[in-house]
Amino acid sequence: MKKLNIVILGCGNVAEHFAYLMQRHHHRIVEIYHPEIQKATHFASTYQAKAISNIQTLSSNADLYIIAVKDNAIAQVANELPENTGIVVHTSGNTAAHVLNKHQRHAVFYPLQTFTRGIKTTQDQFPLLIECSGSSDEILLSDLAKSIGLQPYLMNSTQRAEVHLAAVFAANFTNHCIHMAYDLMTQKNHAPNMLLPLIKESINKLNYISPYQAQTGPAVRHDNQVIEKQMQMLQSNETFKKIYELMTKHIQEIHHNN
């Protein structure tokens, strides 16, 4: 496909990753917008782009405008963005496409991935969920996703919100469980990184079998003696104890025939 001129609105983790991906695949970042000029300038310098702090002065003839800001700021930024000849997209999993209705050509361009500043993702390919106002732009954005190595999926706002909810369980809650495990280790003066091989193997197995098949531990074995002992060990931490009890119960309900 032709190389696109792209404007990015925002300087967060998603904005940074899209800028990196686009430039890596020879699309051109022409402008970076942030209301704080220092942030815009710092970000733009990496991509030889122009830093903009006044949204009204953004170029009107770029091919693509990527709004990569917090969910509660998307509508405001979209409404302040002047009319232009490009496609205006936001990158949220949970925000409906209609917040961009001011712009005739608009779409959602949601990456189903987790991003942390300063950490390059090890996954070169991951799903990118697209919802578009026009069929020709739908083709263009699908081709763009492929051109930067991603896997496009066409979904409406309801479907995308459903996937986003599942992603919260798969990534955000999983990470928090690991955070709790690290706390349990440090509280007893154990090195948390002892758990890393276990964590990595637990995830790696999902390349070959389902989470249902991969489930191990005292809950799935109905090992009540171990469960009771571990509940006693959590006696001083009511929150951890409740989570342990709820997770154990849910695993046993799912694996009740084991």
Q: Which of 99, 128, 155 is the last residue of a domain?
A: 155
Contact predicate 157/97, CB 8 Å: yes
Query: Is there a single domain that holds both residue 41 and residue 125?
Result: yes
C-alpha span between 160 and 153 (Å, rounded) = 10
Q: Which of 99, 130, 155 is the last residue of a domain?
A: 155
- Report the CATH number that the domain containing residue 220 is assigned in CATH: 1.10.1040.20
Query: Is there a single domain that holds both residue 9 and residue 84?
Result: yes
pLDDT at 138 over 90: yes
Contact predicate 109/83, CB 8 Å: no
pLDDT tens per residue across span 223-245 = 999 999 999 999 999 999 999 99
Query: Is there a single domain that holds both residue 201 and residue 218?
Result: yes
Contacts of 251 (CB under 8 A, 6+ apart): 215, 217, 219, 220
Domains identified in the chain, total number:
2
Whether this prediction's pTM lies above 0.75 is answered by yes
pLDDT tens per residue across span 150-173 = 999 999 999 999 999 999 999 999
Query: Is there a single domain that holds both residue 16 and residue 116?
Result: yes
pLDDT at 63 over 70: yes
- Candidates 87, 72, 61; CA nearest to 10 is 72
Query: Is there a single domain that holds both residue 131 and residue 244?
Result: no
- The confidence score (pLDDT) of residue 258 equals 63
Q: Where are the beta strands (DSSP E) in the chain?
A: 5-9, 28-33, 50-52, 64-67, 87-90, 106-111, 127-132, 151-154
Q: Which domain holds residue 198?
A: 162-254
Query: Is there a single domain that holds both residue 143 and residue 177?
Result: no
- Per-residue confidence band for 134, with pLDDT thresholds at 50, 70 and 90: confident
Residue 5: strand, helix, or coil: strand
Q: Which of 102, 130, 155 is the last residue of a domain?
A: 155
Contact predicate 218/230, CB 8 Å: yes
Query: Is there a single domain that holds both residue 134 and residue 239?
Result: no
Query: Is there a single domain that holds both residue 120 and residue 59?
Result: yes
Query: Is there a single domain that holds both residue 56 and residue 143?
Result: yes
Query: Is there a single domain that holds both residue 151 and residue 170?
Result: no
Contact predicate 55/2, CB 8 Å: no
Query: Is there a single domain that holds both residue 84 and residue 179?
Result: no
pLDDT tens per residue across span 82-121 = 999 999 999 999 999 999 999 999 999 999 998 887 777 7
pLDDT at 30 over 90: yes
Token pair 């020879």 is at which residue? 26
Q: In what order do the strands lie in the sheet with 28-33?
A: 50-52, 28-33, 5-9, 64-67, 87-90, 106-111, 127-132, 151-154
Cβ count within 10 A of residue 18: 24
Query: Is there a single domain that holds both residue 118 and residue 202?
Result: no
